[in-house]
């Protein structure tokens, strides 16, 4: 029976992947199982980030992009990143205009936002691909020099386009956080991230606890230049206090279980 269940979920994912969206009734009919069985299987697919349940059915949100940056990050702090993503999605209201960069944690946030009525602006090809077939959202892609490791646009063309954009929230991933501020490991990307920050009313950084107390190649900004930071539950009190003193609202996300991974 366990093998049958595994085959059923594999077939379910295949259907959703081919159609990009499938209704519950379609899945019930094609798999010849009850609606409650479909719902339980969808909880598992949503937990691993392969699909996203919305009203009336499920959207395919894809496997991690086949790029060196994502491959190197695959499995690293996976449950913490999913918890951060869900918590960040809860900070966003339907109808808002969001600017998303291309880090692996931001990509997890994007998975949680697929299917919601939002205006999405992004520098990330993988993020743009998630929303390209989502009829509920509007998508604007910021062009520029594409990094082959991550599929992210950065550099002067991207920066010039961002100077003409205004959004409610910008959501950024970073490589490191320490007392001096936030860091990333790409000089061109850092300049583009600064332009993304200037475009927003509110800046949210998403970072798992392993990023703290470390440094990286290029300094993005001071701690106080960010409005909110969402981290996993392992973030220590020291960094919570340091960020709070800098005026940053810190949100620590509870890690997900299969039982509460759905809505």
Q: How confident is the model at residue 11 (pLDDT cuts 50, 70, 90)?
A: confident
Residue 156 pairs in a beta bridge with none
Model pTM score = 0.76
Q: What does the block give as tokens for 73?
A: 């990050």
Tally Cβ neighbours within 10 Å of residue 201: 12
Q: What is the pLDDT of residue 89?
A: 95
Q: How far apart are CA 115 and CA 112, in angstroms?
A: 8
Most confident listed range (72-76, 127-131, 208-212): 208-212
Helices 104-113, 78-89: axis angle to 10 degrees equals 50
pLDDT for the residue 258: 39
Structure confidence by residue, pLDDT tens digits, 47-78: 777 787 877 788 777 655 555 555 545 555 68
């Amino acid at each position: 029976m366990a093998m049958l269940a595994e085959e059923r979920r594999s077939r379910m994912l295949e259907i959703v992947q081919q159609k990009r969206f499938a209704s519950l009734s379609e899945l019930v009919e094609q798999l010849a199982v009850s609606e409650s069985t479909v719902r339980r299987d969808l909880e598992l697919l949503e937990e691993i980030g392969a699909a996203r349940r919305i009203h009336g059915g499920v959207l395919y949100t894809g496997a991690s992009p086949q790029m060196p940056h994502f491959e190197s990050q695959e499995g690293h702090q996976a449950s913490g990143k999913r918890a951060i993503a869900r918590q960040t999605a809860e900070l966003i209201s339907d109808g808002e205009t969001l600017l998303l960069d291309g880090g692996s944690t931001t990509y997890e946030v994007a998975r949680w936002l697929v299917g919601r009525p939002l205006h999405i602006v992004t520098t990330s090809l993988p993020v743009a691909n998630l929303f390209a077939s989502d009829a509920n959202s509007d998508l604007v892609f910021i062009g520029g020099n594409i990094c082959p490791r991550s599929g992210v646009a950065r550099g002067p063309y991207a920066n010039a386009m961002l100077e003409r954009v205004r959004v409610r929230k910008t959501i950024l991933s970073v490589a490191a956080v320490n007392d001096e501020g936030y860091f990333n490991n790409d000089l061109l990307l850092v300049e583009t991230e600064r332009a993304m920050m200037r475009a927003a009313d509110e800046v949210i950084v998403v970072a798992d606890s392993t990023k703290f107390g470390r440094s990286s190649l290029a300094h993005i900004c001071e701690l106080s230049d960010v409005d909110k930071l969402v981290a996993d539950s392992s973030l220590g009190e020291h960094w919570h206090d340091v960020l709070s003193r800098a005026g940053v609202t810190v949100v620590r996300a509870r890690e997900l279980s299969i039982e509460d991974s759905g809505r």
